[in-house]
Structure 1
């Protein structure tokens, strides 16, 4: 599953400097058949090497388990004349081919382009057009990878350098096997940085306390909240223009006017934080009134008294020796008893 991002306006050209460069998330360049850009990011060298290391560990463990099972179950059942050095060499070759070729092909075929290492890192193999990877493509990737990439049967050291160079220079981070098979590796998890609740800066605390927010509706508050959580992903000057447009709408329904020289984004965050604070106080008061009028809705926890056993010396005649008496004596309803007088 990919997130679809529809661009309603032509993208604004970002400045060439790193300070004004828009954050490039969807750099895979995948476009669906409906001309909609897919919001996915191409996997680079670091994440792919990490996934490869995890897959190497999984391949070694799987090969070891298969060898143990075969040596303990299948080999004793074979005739003694068939089991010799050549048999074990051929068996080792079969295991090696299965680990290096069969392992990625089977997992990419039945797990939607993901091996265990790619699952752990959050990667997936797809076609260059964004479609699912096919069996021939997975087999081609695996054969090219074994021959010239990992473990690199043809000129290992030189092929490793060539593979890393291709991945670093390719715009989508593809390796030689991806170029031959027409595939690429993309991230399946999007980066979502933690965005805290908008706070009120100290110079605006006094102004925020005097705001009249009675005419501010929920739709405008939701639009401001969405802008504040996504503003880091907008490029200039679109970010400033959108903030100015939202503030013009908010200024028309709030009063008094803000101090001069404060950026619109800080004003939006201040108004939204003050609205959230007042909403929390209102909810707290409502719950307190509800608990007062209808205490049965919020019953207080009751502690069950621990029963105490009656001592044997104070037990009532005819009662059981382990009788249980109430922890709190019952109240008398009649007049208090008069102590006897000694004559």
Structure 2
């Protein structure tokens, strides 16, 4: 679902995954990673009989870190926020601004998750998930991420449309890095502007347009209305995000094709 990671906060329309679903996903992941660990021990088991205590402790520590930290972080990075458990249950990790997670986010979640999930058996996870608005565990809070459920059917809000007379300007404009909350607030404003009082519409629209204008260069043509300006920014950012997603998917497809070809040889 590529539209879930666009910059205009489309992902925020999906609800955060609840504790029960996340717990089941974690159990699936734990089973998978433990299976990998058991396979590694079986594969290199003969070395355990020739090592002294210090070397054996070091080897066990390395295996634990690789299986329970490095492997989960790598999987979430390569799959753009999914693991085996999340894939099975229709879950995905996203950034707070709705974008796809990067390696630093996945690494932070995995490092904290090692202590939060494995060392404490999840005892400190439930209070955080139940007590935060987006059902975040401690690792999500430190990484700036949360988990969404992609299988929940919701009524989607209207997507901002590009005003035809601003299309040429928007293509070449530097739209900056619009924060997720500002993007969401702008999109929400455009969706419900007709239902606001004239005064509230003007005040809120002016404030949002002013916040956006600081991040956009060059400014729109003289005489552009604030709402057309906001719609153009959101529509262009969405177009660019979809193009980026398509490029990334094409790169993944090429890499997958090369890997399959190499295996065939």
After TM superposition, the score normalised by the length of structure 1 is 0.41
Count of aligned pairs between the two proteins: 154
CA-CA distance at 1:169 after TM superposition:
1.6
Structure 2: runs of 5+ lacking an equivalent: 155-265
1:124 aligns to 2:92 (yes or no): yes
Match of 1:71 among 45, 50, 56: 45
Instruction: Give ranges in structure 1 of 5+ residues lacking alignment.
Output: 5-29, 193-343
C-alpha displacement at 1:83, in angstroms?
2.6
Alpha-carbon separation, structure 2, partners of 1:38 and 1:166: 20
Aligned partners of 2:19, 2:139: CA distance in 1, in Å?
14
Q: How far off is 1:36 after superposition? A: 5.3
SS in 1 for 2:146: strand
Q: Pick the aligned partner of 1:150 from 117, 126, 136.
A: 117
CA distance in 2, matches of 1:150, 1:163: 7
Q: Quick check: 1:84 aligned with 2:52?
A: yes
* Aligned partner of 2:133 among 158, 171, 178: 171
Equivalent in the alignment of 2:150: 188
1:227-306 mapped onto 2 (5 Å cutoff): none
Q: Distance in 1 between matches of 2:7 and 2:3?
A: 15
Q: Which residue of 2 aligns with 1:134?
A: 102
SS at match of 2:118: coil
Using the TM superposition, give the Cα deviation of residue 3 of structure 1 relative to its aligned residue in structure 2, in angstroms: 5.3
Per-residue deviation, 1:85: 2.9
Distance in 2 of aligned mates of 1:185 and 1:35: 14
Aligned mates of 1:37, 1:136 — CA distance in 2: 20
Contact 1:166 1:176 in 2 (8 A): yes
Counterparts of 1:131 and 1:171, CA distance in 2 = 18
Q: Would you identify which runs of 4 or more consecutive aligned residues in structure 1 move more than 6 Å?
A: none
Whose helix proportion is higher, 1 or 2? 2
Task: Give the equivalent residue in structure 1 for 2:36.
Answer: 62
Q: Once the 2 structures are TM-superposed, how far is the Cα of residue 131 of structure 1 from its aligned partner?
A: 0.7
Aligned counterparts of 1:34 and 1:47: Cα–Cα separation in 2 = 27
**Residues of 2 paired with 1:34 and 1:145: CA distance?**
29
Cross-structure match for 1:197? none
Partners in 2 of 1:57 and 1:83 — Cα distance? 28
Q: Distance in 2 between matches of 1:119 and 1:87?
A: 37
Please give the secondary structure, in 2, of the residue aligned with 1:150.
helix
